[in-house]
Structure 1
Amino acid sequence: MIEPVEMVPLHFGALHPYELAVTLLLAFGPFAVLAIVIAVRRRRDARAADRGSEADRR
């Protein structure tokens, strides 16, 4: 008899390549977008901090 844990992957059956791509995009896409947003914001904050420290020197 199939255990319930083993049954989960069988529930979906075989996926076509495009279905697999869409599934992976939906699963990991938001995390990739979040990582990009964090990187851009950190870069902006670092530039603002550099500009602030240059203004303090004058």
Structure 2
Amino acid sequence: MTSVLLSLFHLGALHPVEKGLTLLLAFGPFVVLAVVVAVRRRQDAAAEAPAASEAEAAGLPAQPQQPTEQPQPPTD
């Protein structure tokens, strides 16, 4: 099992710091993207929660926000 992991991370004759920087450069953007997506989903859920609770307090069914339609260019 160890040899499989070693072969996956074999990047040639690199200094350990260079290997770490290479892996950070390769996988870092995906980690940042995952964090941004998680934060945005939490913010969206938090923004929708008060609207749903206000509708429940007023006795109205909660309605999801409808996407706005894009104006269509005129066709000839």
Q: How many residues align?
A: 47
User: Which stretches of structure 1, 4 residues or longer, exceed 6 Å deviation after superposition?
Assistant: none
TM-score normalized with structure 1 length:
0.74
Which residue does 2:71 correspond to in 1? none
Which one has a larger percent helix, Structure 1 or Structure 2? 1
Deviation at 1:57, TM superposition (A): 1.5
Deviation at 1:16, TM superposition (A): 0.4
Q: Higher RCO, 1 or 2 (CA under 8 Å, sep at least 6)?
A: 2
Distance 1:54 1:32 in 2: 33
Matched to 2:27, the amino acid is F
Identify unmatched segments of 5+ residues in structure 1: 1-11
Which residue does 2:68 correspond to in 1? none
Which residues of 2 match residues 34-53 of structure 1 at below 5 A?
34-53=33-52
Which residue does 2:14 correspond to in 1? 15
Distance 2:15 2:43 in 1: 41
Tell me the C-alpha RMSD between the 2 structures: 1.3
